[in-house]
């Protein structure tokens, strides 16, 4: 945190109604630098154009993700006890938010495609919730994917008879990532309507949705 001289308190908007962000059920990944206009993000054709792209604007969508867990988002502190005045800790910043999901019964060809995403330094995502809404960054007249860091997909965990076999997927957001987070209700259902380019290959993978020759 960078200290600045005190100024008048900022205006705080009055709350008209609460916002429910819902359960994240699918995630769309895209490289940073892409965007939707306020109107285009609501149309299936705009999303399909990104899904069918053959350049760095390409977008890929996961199948269903489950068991989301979240950590971080709390204060990063220093001191306490005799180390700081009155034993009160100093707030230095915000711990980054990390999210983790369970990928149950995914074909490992699909997992291998997802693992390739870890090589991209400029990865970002959109969230699709159970209400068919899109979570994205709204800035000015455009919507952007949410930048992420430290993307990881693990190897298969064979759980046997007691629970489905699964892989773990996790990533982190930078501090203050959600300051401009917005919810959009498109005119279609992103959970069911957005398909990857090779959705109908038949083996369950979406490996062809990636062009491994792209610059990383």
Alpha helices in 31-127 (DSSP H): 44-51, 108-115
pLDDT (0 to 100) of residue 2: 67
Global confidence as pTM: 0.85
pLDDT (0 to 100) of residue 74: 83
pLDDT (0 to 100) of residue 1: 60
| Helix, strand, coil tally for the chain in percent (to 5) | 15, 30, 50
CA distance 141 to 147: 18
pLDDT (0 to 100) of residue 4: 73
Using only C-alpha atoms, the chain has a radius of gyration, in whole angstroms, of: 20
Count CB-CB contacts under 10 A for residue 38: 12
> DSSP for 114-131?
HHGGGG-TTEEEEEEETT
CA distance 77 to 122: 29
Is 98 in a helix, a strand, or coil? Answer: strand
Q: On the CB side of 204, how many CA atoms lie within 13 Å of its CA?
A: 10
Burial class (CB in 10 A: 0-12, 13-18, 19+), 94: middle
Low-confidence residues of the chain: pLDDT under 70: 1-3, 198-216
pLDDT (0 to 100) of residue 205: 43
């Amino acid at each position: 945190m960078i200290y600045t001289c005190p100024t008048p308190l900022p205006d705080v908007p009055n709350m008209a109604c609460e916002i429910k962000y819902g359960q994240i059920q699918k995630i769309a990944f895209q490289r940073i630098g892409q965007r939707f206009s306020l109107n285009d993000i609501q149309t299936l054709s705009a999303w399909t154009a990104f899904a069918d792209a053959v350049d760095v604007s390409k977008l890929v969508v996961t199948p269903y993700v489950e068991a989301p867990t979240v950590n971080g988002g709390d204060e990063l502190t220093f001191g306490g006890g005799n180390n700081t005045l009155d034993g009160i800790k100093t707030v230095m910043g915000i711990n980054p938010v990390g999210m983790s999901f369970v990928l149950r019964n995914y074909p490992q060809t699909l997992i291998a495609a997802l693992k390739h995403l870890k090589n991209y330094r400029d990865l970002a995502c959109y969230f699709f919730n159970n209400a068919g809404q899109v979570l994205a960054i709204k800035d000015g007249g455009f919507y952007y994917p949410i930048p992420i860091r430290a993307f990881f997909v693990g190897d298969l965990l064979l759980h046997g008879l007691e629970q489905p076999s699964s892989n773990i997927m996790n990533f982190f957001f930078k501090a203050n990532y959600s300051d401009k987070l917005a919810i959009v209700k498109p005119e279609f259902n992103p959970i069911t309507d957005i398909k990857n380019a090779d959705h109908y290959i038949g083996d369950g993978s979406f490996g062809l949705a990636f062009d491994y020759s792209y610059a990383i």
